[in-house]
């Protein structure tokens, strides 16, 4: 978690026109970034799952603790994609070393549907969100082993999201 916080601070202060900050990874490691962004933008959960080991764990602000990759991707990303059918990830910057990747991307789209999501989140979702455009910066830290993701930790500004969708002023 300390490494993630340090990488987020570094990423936050680097000029957004610079896509690569540090690159000591192999071509295969760097290719994971493109494959992940492309699969996300195609809303292809199967292609995303192929980038992870079966035992991979994911932590997100959308749920407590870690979840197994299959449950996390199937449930969480399916909800995202159903809520904003044209949702896209626009890569801002990345940091790569041999077995770790940190990326920052802008998550952009318009809320068209209210997803079923997490039961706790359903308490705050309502029709005011429909038609609202989002543009949220997301930070993701991946750990890799043998070219596959074994762990993912993501963070985004939940307050900015709630303001953009009309749930807060």
Q: What pLDDT score was predicted for residue 144?
A: 96
Tens digit of pLDDT for each residue in 26-53?
Answer: 788 889 999 999 999 999 999 999 999 9
CATH domain 2-164 topology:
Nuclear Transport Factor 2; Chain: A, (3.10.450)
Tens digit of pLDDT for each residue in 133-167?
Answer: 999 999 999 999 999 999 999 999 888 988 998 88
d(CA 16, CA 37): 17
The pLDDT mean for the chain works out to 83
Can you give the residue ranges of every domain in the chain? 2-164
Tens digit of pLDDT for each residue in 49-98?
Answer: 999 999 999 999 888 899 999 988 888 888 889 889 999 999 999 999 88
Q: Cα dihedral sign for 35, 64, 4, 150?
A: negative
d(CA 137, CA 91): 10
């Amino acid at each position: 978690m300390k490494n993630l916080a340090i990488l987020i601070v570094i990423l936050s202060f680097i000029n957004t026109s610079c896509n690569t900050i540090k690159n000591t990874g192999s071509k295969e490691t760097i290719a994971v970034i493109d494959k992940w962004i492309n699969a996300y933008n195609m809303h292809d959960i199967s292609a995303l799952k192929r980038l992870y080991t079966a035992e991979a764990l994911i932590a997100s602000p959308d749920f407590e603790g870690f979840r197994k990759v299959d449950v996390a991707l199937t449930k969480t990303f399916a909800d995202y994609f159903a809520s904003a059918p044209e949702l896209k990830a626009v890569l801002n910057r990345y940091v790569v070393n041999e077995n770790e990747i940190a990326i920052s991307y802008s998550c952009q789209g318009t809320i068209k549907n209210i997803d079923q999501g997490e039961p706790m989140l359903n308490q705050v979702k309502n029709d005011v969100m429909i038609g609202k455009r989002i543009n949220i910066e997301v930070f993701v830290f991946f750990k890799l082993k043998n070219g596959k993701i074994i762990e993912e930790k993501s963070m985004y500004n939940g307050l900015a999201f709630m303001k953009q969708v009309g749930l807060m002023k």
